[in-house]
Amino acid sequence: MNVSLARPDVLAGTIKAPPSKSETHRVIVASAMDRASEVLSPLYADSTEATRRACIALGATIRQEGQDLFVDGFKGQPRSGGIINVGNSGTTMRLTISLASLCRDGKTTTIIGDSSLSRRPNGPLVAALRELGVDIKGQGTNDTAPVTVKGNGLKGGNVKISVSESSQYVSSLLMACPCADSDTTIDVIGAMSSKPYIEMTLELLKQYHIEIDHSKDLRHFYMPGKQQFRGPKKISVKGDYSQAAFFLAAGSLFPSEITVENLYKDRQGDRKFLDILTQMGVKLEIHESSVSVKGPYHLEGIDVDLGDTPDLFPITAVLGAFASGRTKMYNMPQIRYKESDRIAVMKRELERYGARVEEGEDYMTVYGLRSPNKQHLVFDPKDPRTHVADHRVEMSLSILALASDQIWLGDSQCISISYPGYFEDLQRLGVEVHQNEHLAVPTKGRMLPQVR
């Protein structure tokens, strides 16, 4: 389904932040590695469904009852899963690759994905697993999908790995290596990226009584082999700051009175977006489990290191277009290897709008608009000329279009990768959401049913 949005005069209302996508992936995997547990209020989206299917293929039983998942796990001993299609989910792909290395039946597991995922690199992870005794093979020099793992077990040992492309490599190893035949040591080399996601993995594994010793800078890890996952009988998933960012950004640009609930004061890395907004001049009301904003605000450009929080880049770039001065986002080479080259795509779209943009290998600078492009624009990141379908880019461009009274024409299937309820939440705040049959600018689209 294709949709377009109509700008409201005022954004107002209360919405609930969806459960964390990153945490949902990890909780499903940890529960599958355990015996039996109940996952309370996980995120139901295409990407997390891919993780659920992958764990089922590897031997877990996972059923949904209401908003919860009941997991009967494979106790650290998965079976080979044949061909597992993980769709567009890079997190699922990386986690599944290491899980499959624990199989011991001599059969194979092949992890495949869509065309976008098949371009994303896995080289450091595949090389590390090979050093740890795994019979594994990817495609080409970057070990892209399909990746095939033969079920001969994970031996353990000492390995060095680079995470400049993705911290998911380390999280993947941390989830599997405790069940290796022998002890494992991991040393991270080169530039670090996305450390909060590694911290999230470690914090979760602690709840499952997995023993991992690590250095404070997260560059050295040691874990004994032959451990067993023994988690809580019930575990809940917290709200996602990276998804709430779109609404808090909109509230900063619009006449608004918005409250986003289900946001707790935890260690989630993307909570940094609150600091970004504050530095740009936004006054937030931060409560125990919610954040409120009453806009609009005059934004000031800032310099911000997004090395640990790359998912915040697209929406921060949009804010930069409306801020005075310049906004420089840097230390984020990994975002060129996401669902799209996000630096290149956001540069192209912001320049179409009229913004001056500079880019480098790991940074982008946006200069605030004095005279935006007044001609009729359509922000369509799934333009057939560019073939980009990136959920975070699409949601960010929808906010750019709303704030600038332009047209955004998006693909709801792409956004459902991480946030199936995005349009319903926009409606709750007063945005008109129109459904369109074709990928073209609508004169009058069919309204989605009103959310109550």
Residues 184 and 89 in one domain: yes
Question: Could you give phi then psi for residue 160, rounded to 5 degrees?
Answer: -115, 145
Confirm whether 106 is domain-assigned. Answer: yes
137 and 38 inside one domain: yes
**Within 10 A of 385 (CB to CB), how many other CB atoms are there?**
6
CA distances from 159 to 132, 140, 186, 187, 263 (A): 7, 22, 5, 6, 37
Q: In terms of domains, do 309 and 420 share one? A: yes
Q: What are phi and psi of 351, to 5 degrees?
A: -70, -35
239 token code pair: 């709200």
311: annotated active-site residue: yes
Regarding whether 248 and 161 lie in a shared domain, the answer is no
Is 175 contained in some domain? yes
Q: How many domains does the chain have?
A: 2
What's the confidence (pLDDT) of residue 403?
83
Query: 45-72: b or e for each residue (b if 16 or more CB lie within 10 Å)?
Result: bbbbbbbbbbbbbbbbebeeeeeebebb
Catalytic residue among 46, 143, 311, 380: 311
**Tokens in use for 61?**
């039983």
Q: Tell me which DSSP letter residue 226 carries.
A: S
**pLDDT in 10s for each residue of the chain, 452 residues:** 678 888 789 999 999 999 999 999 999 999 999 999 999 999 999 999 999 999 999 999 999 999 999 999 999 999 999 999 999 999 999 999 999 999 999 999 999 999 889 999 999 999 999 999 999 999 999 999 999 999 999 999 999 999 988 999 999 999 999 999 999 999 999 988 889 999 999 999 999 999 999 999 999 999 999 999 999 999 999 999 999 999 999 999 999 999 999 999 876 899 999 999 999 999 999 999 999 999 999 999 999 999 999 999 999 999 999 999 999 999 998 888 777 889 999 999 899 888 999 999 999 999 998 665 656 667 765 665 555 678 899 999 999 988 877 777 776 778 888 999 999 999 999 999 987 655 444 444 444 454 44
Residue 114 lies in a domain: yes
Dist CA 144 CA 147 (whole Å):
7
> Are 206 and 336 members of one domain?
no
Return left, alpha or beta for 218; rule: phi > 0 is left, psi -120 to 50 is alpha, else beta. left
Give residue 406's identity as a one-letter amino acid code: Q
Tell me, yes or no, whether 60 and 13 share the same domain: no
Q: Which residue has the tokens 């050093």?
A: 131
Say yes or no: 99 and 191 in one domain: yes
End-of-domain residue from the set 181, 199, 215 = 215
- Residue 407: give the domain boundaries: 2-18+239-447
From 146, 181, 215, give the residue that closes a domain.
Answer: 215
Q: State the CATH number of the domain containing residue 254.
A: 3.65.10.10
Query: Does 220 fall in a domain?
Result: no
pTM: 0.90
Is 207 in the same domain as 342? no
For residue 287, being part of any structural domain is answered with yes
Would you say residue 434 lies in a domain? yes
10 and 68 in a single domain? The answer is no
187 and 287 in a common domain: no
319 in any annotated domain: yes
Of 321, 322, 280, the residue nearest 303 (C-alpha): 280
Final residue before a domain boundary, out of 215, 247, 270: 215
Q: Is 229 part of a structural domain of the chain? A: no
27's tokens: 């909780």
Q: What is the pLDDT of residues 164-220, one digit of tens each?
A: 889 999 999 999 999 999 999 999 999 888 899 999 999 999 999 999 999 999 999
Is 245 found in the same domain as 201?
no
Same structural domain for residues 117 and 202? yes
